[in-house]
Chain A
């Protein structure tokens, strides 16, 4: 407990920012906890951390942590992150986005950030819904689920964030959940300590906007659902009946240098050729 208090004092902003805006039972608080624990475990100085968030409930994380924090426009967090990382490669850039943020309005930026292999860690907080705007369907809303804009049941297929990031060429791709908080810490730390673009999808319940409309009786039931349906990748791969199960863990790990490293090498090569100033 003392350790937790210490982390709170060290990493959270005390003046004026609390209480949290999140609903009781929301999983975003656990994501926030994981973020703080991961930065602490990696020993990153606070000044070297930049947290860039989009717009949505998950985007509000940025205001609470005592780092360099940017709350960007909806869907564009990765574009600002790209500018920050390329301008100051020594900064560790963590980009927090909701599923709507990352895959809908920001979908194009996501695949290009992955292709470009910019050295940022993308944390996609997937609650299967638009939380902040009051429960409309998102590109990850499961087929058949009920939302305010799919009152007859979602008729469109959903994106698999992991597959999309893999296809776009991300260096590292991971999936965790807020129920498996310890494992999430591990995945986030792994993602943050590697070069290039690394994406962590974290599944988290939104009882207020998603759970209630889809026959979950309490936030606890949603956590229970995560426990029952999400299994480690190694286990998932051996399952005979994969229906309804979701794998979590490490999906891709490559060691390509980040774009900022490639640029630095290119500039160096030019300077060596005596091209500086030409």
Chain B
């Protein structure tokens, strides 16, 4: 890119939530349905202002989160790139619809700005308590992709990535933010269209009579035409055959379930997005995500200044859990710290991978307060 082009980029002073909306629009989102809840509301408000200016853009405030998830599923089936945003209680309400989207392989982006506590908890305080819900909130066996973001720039980037992966893998993608990230205002450069990859779902090229919406394919991800374009097929949350019709034949049930998992497993490496910060020679490793990763970055720098070989692995992909990256570092580090604003939801995954290889210590904070750099630094030293 030439210096000229670079100049034309706009800079903006944005909240994390506003950056999510910006990223969605850049990724081609033209349909948003939601229900207000703190601390996610700014995402919705920006979309309400901006979408009417987008070609055929639709913004809807629905009667609740179940309806919001339903509306975006419908719009996605009709070919749109869609998003909703919510926080814990609303996310819980959406779970049945998220499961339906997994089963019907409908691309969606769902942003959950986590707040503290369970139930209505701490509406304006940060927490990271929905990590395992994002993975396992919907009933039954299904794969899903869960991302997180640590700062405002990442909010924008990971939203674009979330759209791309939803489309590429025909699956719901959950983006988890915490209240700090969502409500931090920072100056970022807004990329211009064309500066980043935008993916759209694969469309069928065969004649409609040959099309099978849930066909076994090499990638495991069958093409998906918008409804109303000549490919008439049946969509159901019931376990279905390659044509989409309900089946309970064991071979067909097994096939569709295994393909759903395989489409994610096969591209496991593509989906692992992590940031390494001085991990090459580290013997003390911090694994963090969200705003905690920012605190950890500073703590690691300060530890280095004090002569401790510390490093940070910050996770942008939470699920499928980036096992290869973590496992490698577990073998080389003497101590692994996992600070989180919950009672230990990602440390569970780290321990599962660890199997006694090294020492793992958790730092858990559930009082609605941020985990500070000094709190992490104290444990490193």
**A residues in contact (CB < 8 Å) with B:** 13, 15-17, 46-48, 50, 52, 62-63, 66-73, 76, 78-88, 90-91, 108-109, 112, 263, 266-267, 270, 275-278
B227 close to chain A: CB less than 8 A: yes
Q: List 28 A-B contacts (CB under 8 A).
A: A47-B230, A47-B232, A50-B227, A50-B228, A52-B74, A66-B232, A71-B246, A72-B70, A79-B66, A79-B68, A80-B77, A82-B33, A82-B74, A83-B70, A83-B74, A86-B31, A88-B226, A91-B227, A108-B63, A108-B64, A108-B67, A109-B66, A112-B63, A263-B52, A263-B58, A266-B52, A270-B53, A277-B53
B204 close to chain A: CB less than 8 A: no
Residue contact A83 to B31, C-beta cutoff 8 Å: yes
6 tightest CB-CB pairs across the interface, nearest first? Answer: A83-B74, A79-B70, A87-B78, A80-B74, A71-B236, A83-B75
Count residues of B near A (Cβ-Cβ below 8 Å): 46
Residues of chain B contacted by A70 (CB below 8 angstroms): 74, 77, 227, 234-236
Residues of chain B contacted by A73 (CB below 8 angstroms): 70, 96-97, 100, 237
Tell which of A46, A68, A91, A275 has the most Cβ of chain B within 10 Å: A68
B35: min CB distance to chain A, Å: 11
Per the bound structure, the CA–CA distance linking A84 and B31 in Å amounts to: 11
Residues of chain B contacted by A68 (CB below 8 angstroms): 227-228, 232-233
Q: Which of A86, A277, A278 contacts B71 (CB 8 A)?
A: A86
Contact A80:B70 (CB < 8 A) given known A73-B97, A109-B63, A263-B58: yes
Contact A79:B71 (CB < 8 A) given known A70-B77, A72-B100, A84-B227: yes
Residues of chain B contacted by A46 (CB below 8 angstroms): 232
A76: min CB distance to chain B, Å: 5
Residue contact B78 to A112, C-beta cutoff 8 Å: no
A-B pairs with CB below 8 Å: how many? 140
Known A73-B97, A266-B52; further 18 A-B contacts with Cβ < 8 A: A16-B241, A47-B232, A50-B228, A52-B74, A63-B245, A68-B232, A70-B236, A76-B67, A79-B66, A80-B71, A80-B73, A80-B77, A81-B74, A83-B82, A85-B74, A87-B78, A91-B78, A267-B57
B79 close to chain A: CB less than 8 A: yes
Return the chain A residue nearest B70 by Cβ.
A79
Return the chain A residue nearest B63 by Cβ.
A112
Residue contact A88 to B57, C-beta cutoff 8 Å: no
Taken residue by residue from 206 to 229, chain B's Cβ proximity to chain A (1 for < 8 Å, 0 otherwise) reads as 000000000000000000001111
Contact A109:B67 (CB < 8 A) given known A68-B232, A91-B78: yes
Return the chain A residue nearest B241 by Cβ.
A16
B60 close to chain A: CB less than 8 A: yes
Of residues 42 through 85 on chain B, the ones whose CB sits less than 8 Å from some CB of chain A are 52-53, 56-58, 60, 62-64, 66-80, 82
Residue contact A87 to B75, C-beta cutoff 8 Å: yes
Residue contact A88 to B228, C-beta cutoff 8 Å: yes
Of residues 227 through 285 on chain B, the ones whose CB sits less than 8 Å from some CB of chain A are 227-230, 232-238, 241, 243, 245-246
Q: Which of A71, A79, A84, A267 contacts B78 (CB 8 A)?
A: A84
Contact A63:B234 (CB < 8 A) given known A16-B243, A90-B228: yes
Per the bound structure, the CA–CA distance linking A143 and B14 in Å amounts to: 58
Taken residue by residue from 306 to 324, chain B's Cβ proximity to chain A (1 for < 8 Å, 0 otherwise) reads as 0000000000000000000
Per the bound structure, the CA–CA distance linking A46 and B228 in Å amounts to: 9
Return the chain B residue nearest A48 by Cβ.
B228
Per the bound structure, the CA–CA distance linking A60 and B234 in Å amounts to: 11
Per the bound structure, the CA–CA distance linking A158 and B359 in Å amounts to: 63
Per the bound structure, the CA–CA distance linking A78 and B57 in Å amounts to: 20
Tell which of A66, A72, A79 has the most Cβ of chain B within 10 Å: A79
Contact A87:B80 (CB < 8 A) given known A47-B228, A80-B70, A82-B71: yes
Residue contact B67 to A88, C-beta cutoff 8 Å: no
Per the bound structure, the CA–CA distance linking A266 and B56 in Å amounts to: 11
Residue contact A76 to B77, C-beta cutoff 8 Å: no
Residues of chain B contacted by A91 (CB below 8 angstroms): 78, 227-228
B106: min CB distance to chain A, Å: 10
Return the chain A residue nearest B236 by Cβ.
A71
Contact A86:B235 (CB < 8 A) given known A79-B67, A266-B52: no
A88: min CB distance to chain B, Å: 4
Residue contact B227 to A83, C-beta cutoff 8 Å: no
Q: Which of A15, A47, A52, A277 contacts B229 (CB 8 A)?
A: A47
Per the bound structure, the CA–CA distance linking A87 and B230 in Å amounts to: 16
Residues of chain B contacted by A71 (CB below 8 angstroms): 234-238, 246
Residues of chain A contacted by B233 (CB below 8 angstroms): 68-69
Per the bound structure, the CA–CA distance linking A112 and B264 in Å amounts to: 37
A258: min CB distance to chain B, Å: 13
Residues of chain B contacted by A80 (CB below 8 angstroms): 70-71, 73-74, 77
Return the chain A residue nearest B68 by Cβ.
A79
Residue contact A63 to B52, C-beta cutoff 8 Å: no
Residue contact B245 to A17, C-beta cutoff 8 Å: yes
Return the chain B residue nearest A84 by Cβ.
B74
Per the bound structure, the CA–CA distance linking A161 and B33 in Å amounts to: 27
Residue contact A72 to B230, C-beta cutoff 8 Å: no
Of residues 70 through 110 on chain B, the ones whose CB sits less than 8 Å from some CB of chain A are 70-80, 82, 96-97, 100
Residues of chain A contacted by B246 (CB below 8 angstroms): 63, 71
Per the bound structure, the CA–CA distance linking A112 and B232 in Å amounts to: 29
Residues of chain B contacted by A86 (CB below 8 angstroms): 31, 58, 60, 71, 75
Per the bound structure, the CA–CA distance linking A90 and B232 in Å amounts to: 15
Residues of chain B contacted by A72 (CB below 8 angstroms): 70, 73, 100, 237
Tell which of B58, B68, B97, B237 has the most Cβ of chain A within 10 Å: B58
Per the bound structure, the CA–CA distance linking A69 and B52 in Å amounts to: 28
Per the bound structure, the CA–CA distance linking A89 and B70 in Å amounts to: 17
Residues of chain A contacted by B100 (CB below 8 angstroms): 72-73
Residues of chain B contacted by A15 (CB below 8 angstroms): 243
B224: min CB distance to chain A, Å: 13
Per the bound structure, the CA–CA distance linking A77 and B68 in Å amounts to: 12
A140: min CB distance to chain B, Å: 21
